[in-house]
Amino acid sequence: MTASSVTGRTATARTGAGAPGVRDAAPLSFRGIARSFPAADGDQPVLRDIGLDVAAGDIVAILGPSGCGKSTLLRIAGGLDRPTRGDVTIDGSPVAPFDPRSAVGFQEPRLLPWRSIAGNVALGLPRGTPRAAGRELVARLLDLVGLAAFAGHRPREVSGGMAQRASLARALARNPGVLLLDEPFGALDALTRLKMQDLLLDVHAAAPTTVLLVTHDVDEALQLADRIILLGPEGEEPGAVIRQTVVVPGRRPRDRGSAELAELRGRLLDGLGIDRHGAARGIASTTTIPHYPY
C-alpha cells in the first residue's frame, strides 16, 4: 500500500491547516527546554536544557528511568504542557496548545466505550472533514491496522491489542506531521507487543510521519528507532538531560538477534544503570528500568 492510498496524501492536494487529508512528515525541534513543577520546597526541576532535532520522517525513541520526565517532554512536544524555558517547534514554527500538527497515543487506548471502533477512529479526524472523505479515511485506516472486520464492534468486544490498534488508527486519522507515542504498547502482552511493533513499522512505511516514542523497553527502541535518546539525571544538578544518543544501524525490520544490536543493548542497559545479567542496583530484572531519584 502506498502512502497516498493510506492517508489521501498527494503532492498536489495540499490543503490548509486543520483541513483533512494532507500533512507531510514534519521536523520537530527542542531548544534549551527546561520544565520545573512547584513542590513543597520550591520549584522542582524535571527537565533541564534539552536540545533535540528529529528530522522529518525519523523515529526517535526516548528511554530513561521512571519519573525522569519522558512524558513531560512528549507533552511539551504536543502542546499539552508548556516548558518553563526554551522553545519547541514543528516545521520551524512554535508548537501551539493542542497543536493540530501532532497526535498523541498513550499506553491505554482511551476509547469511548459507547462508540464503535470506527466511530472512535473517526474522533481523530480534523474538524471540518467532509463526511464522505472521513468515512473513506477511517475505512482505509481500519484496513491498515487490520480492524476492517471490527468497524462496528464496541471497544469491550475487542481485545486489548485490537483496542490499541484502534487507538493508533485514531491518532493517524488526525493526519499528524508528528506522531507522539507514550509507551503505546506498554500494557500489552509480549507477543502482541512484538506484533504492534511490526504494525507500527508497516504504518510508518505506508504513511511516513515523524515519530517520537517513549518506551521502557530497550529492545523495542532498538527495533523501531533510527536514534535512541537516553534521558536522565547527570551530576549533582537536579533535572534530566540527554545523557546518551545512540544511532541504531541497519534498515528496519532488524534482526532482533544480531550481534550489533546485542552490543548496543548492553551499552543502553549500562547507561540505564542495569546489570546486563539481571541484578540492577537493587532491581531484579533486565527489563525493569529503575525509578528516579534512585
Ligand X SMILES: Nc1ncnc2c1ncn2[C@@H]1O[C@H](COP(=O)(O)OP(=O)(O)OP(=O)(O)O)[C@@H](O)[C@H]1O
Binding site for Mg ion (CB under 5 A): 71
**Least Å distance between CB 164 and ligand X?**
17
37 touches, from Mg ion, ligand X, none (C-beta below 5 to 8 Å by class): ligand X
Helices and strands in the chain, H and E counts: 8, 10
- Enter the DSSP assignment of 254: P
Q: Which is nearer to Mg ion, 73 or 280 (CB)?
A: 73
What is the rounded CA–CA span in Å between residue 33 and residue 73? 9
**Least Å distance between CB 167 and ligand X?**
17
Q: Which is nearer to Mg ion, 71 or 164 (CB)?
A: 71
**Least Å distance between CB 274 and ligand X?**
14
Q: Which is nearer to Mg ion, 71 or 175 (CB)?
A: 71
| Cis status, amide bond into 293, omega within 30 of 0 | yes
Cβ atoms of residues 62 and 231 within 8 Å: yes
Interface residues toward ligand X, by CB under 6 A:
37, 46, 64, 66-72
Cβ atoms of residues 22 and 178 within 8 Å: no
SS3 82: coil
177 touches, from Mg ion, ligand X, none (C-beta below 5 to 8 Å by class): none
Mention every residue, 6+ apart, whose C-beta is less than 8 A from residue 259.
none
29 touches, from Mg ion, ligand X, none (C-beta below 5 to 8 Å by class): none
**Least Å distance between CB 47 and Mg ion?**
13
Written as nine digits, the cell of 250 is: 541497519
**Least Å distance between CB 187 and ligand X?**
12
Name residue 85's beta-bridge partners: 34
Written as nine digits, the cell of 198 is: 511490526
Q: Which is nearer to ligand X, 69 or 105 (CB)?
A: 69
46 touches, from ligand X, Mg ion, none (C-beta below 5 to 8 Å by class): ligand X
